[in-house]
Amino acid sequence: MVISGLRTPVLEAGMPDAREAVVFFHGNPGSGLDWEDLIARVGSFARAVAFDLPGFGAADKPREFDYSVPGYHRFTEDVFSALGIERVHPVVHDIGGWHGQMWVGCHPRECGSLVIINSPPVINYRWYLLAQVWRTPGAGEFLQAIMNRPFFDLNVKRGRARSLPKPFIDRMWREFDAGTRNAILRLYRATDVLRIVPVPVETFRALPVPVLVVWGRRDPYIPPRFAEAHREIYSNLEYTYLEASGHWPFIDDPDGVADPVTRFLRRQLRPEAA
């Protein structure tokens, strides 16, 4: 599709005209294809949608785009408008949680539920080492310039008890081009670690929808203490921990993620949306 003048791939399953949808938000590095398995499973009982953020995957990567949480939030609103989606059940991962939760904070009445998978809390987060380098002018550009396949593989395989499929890593590496490297630097530098989402935290605490937190305990980037930090933000939470999974649990243990996520979503969807 062309959204706000930018091309982005959109992956869909289920009823294409349904106004209520489960929408998947990918992280960094990543794209909508990260969710291919879950979209197929959710599409058996609901409309399921994923799209590539500008600067990531196969989406356009213009230098003039506003690579920030508010910038991605505005783009997301345009995607929903173009697809005719009015009620949303976000499923967020990694940085997808930033603009996904900003949409929730700005549209609490249109949010049906929320699934958080290895994604930072909206306040009081702490950058991991790689993110700290990306946020440092000069150092971030140097790191992106020297990033090669062995170094990339080393980082995505850190702390793993379960291995990631080689085709998944191959695709992430192909998508990690100059446009994506630039988008990462600009996004991380535009984000305040103390208040990642510029929405009052009280908005989230008052959110009247259920929240499911699914977490790979062996995540070296966003460790389990940040899963627990979501308790300070949301009042109606359920938790599923995957002991042997890392940062991409829906890739290294697709059944372990799909089971709690699909059971949760089936309970939240309105009957006419299923």
pLDDT one-digit tens code per residue, 253-263: 999 999 999 99
Judged against a pLDDT cut of 70, whether residue 157 lies above it is answered with yes
What is the C-alpha to C-alpha distance for residues 222 and 150, in angstroms, rounded to an integer?
A: 22
What average pLDDT does the structure give for the chain? Answer: 94
Residue 271 has pLDDT above 80, yes or no: no
Predicted structure pTM score: 0.95
Q: What Cα–Cα distance (Å) separates residue 273 from each residue in 21, 77, 80, 170, 207?
A: 8, 20, 16, 36, 21
> How, if at all, do strands 47-51 and 20-25 pair?
parallel
pLDDT level of residue 239 (50, 70, 90 thresholds): very high
Instruction: Give the 3-state secondary structure of residue 267.
Output: helix
- Quick one: pLDDT at residue 160? 66
Among 44-58, 118-132, 148-162, 196-210, name the one with the lowest average pLDDT. Answer: 148-162
User: Which pair of tokens denotes residue 92?
Assistant: 């967020």
Beta bridge partners of 213: 116, 239
Q: In this structure, are strands 47-51 and 10-13 parallel, antiparallel, or unpaired?
A: antiparallel
What is the C-alpha separation between 166 and 156, in angstroms, rounded?
Answer: 11
> Where are the domains positioned within the chain?
2-273
User: Which of these ranges, 76-85, 187-196, 217-226, has the smallest mean pLDDT?
Assistant: 187-196
> Residue 255 and residue 164: Cα distance in Å, rounded?
14
- Closest C-alpha among 109, 97, 102 to residue 71: 102
Residue 189 has pLDDT above 70, yes or no: yes
Q: Does domain 2-273 have CATH number 3.40.50.1820?
A: yes
Q: What is the pLDDT of residue 124?
A: 86
Q: What pLDDT, on a 0 to 100 scale, did the predictor assign at position 272? A: 66
Region 76-91: mean pLDDT is: 97
Listed in sequence order, the residues at least 6 apart from 9 whose beta carbon sits closer than 8 Å to its beta carbon are 31, 32, 33, 51, 52, 57, 58, 59
DSSP code for 122: S
Grade residue 192 by pLDDT with cuts at 50, 70 and 90: confident
pLDDT score, position 270: 78
What value does the mean pLDDT take over residues 58-86? 97
Quick one: pLDDT band at residue 273, thresholds 50, 70, 90?
A: low
Residue 23 token pair: 């929408």
Query: Is the confidence at residue 93, as pLDDT, over 70?
Result: yes
At 155 the pLDDT is: 87
Q: How far is CA 188 from the centre of its chain?
A: 14
**Residue with the larger pLDDT of the pair 60 and 208:** 60
Mean pLDDT, residues 219-227 taken together = 94
Helix axes 166-175, 149-156, angle to 10 degrees: 120
What average pLDDT does range 105-122 have in this prediction? Answer: 96
The arithmetic mean of pLDDT across residues 77-105, rounded, is 96
Tell me what the mean pLDDT of segment 165-187 comes to: 96
Quick one: pLDDT at residue 66? 97
Pull the structure tokens for residue 136: 């440092």
Q: What is the DSSP letter of 14?
A: S
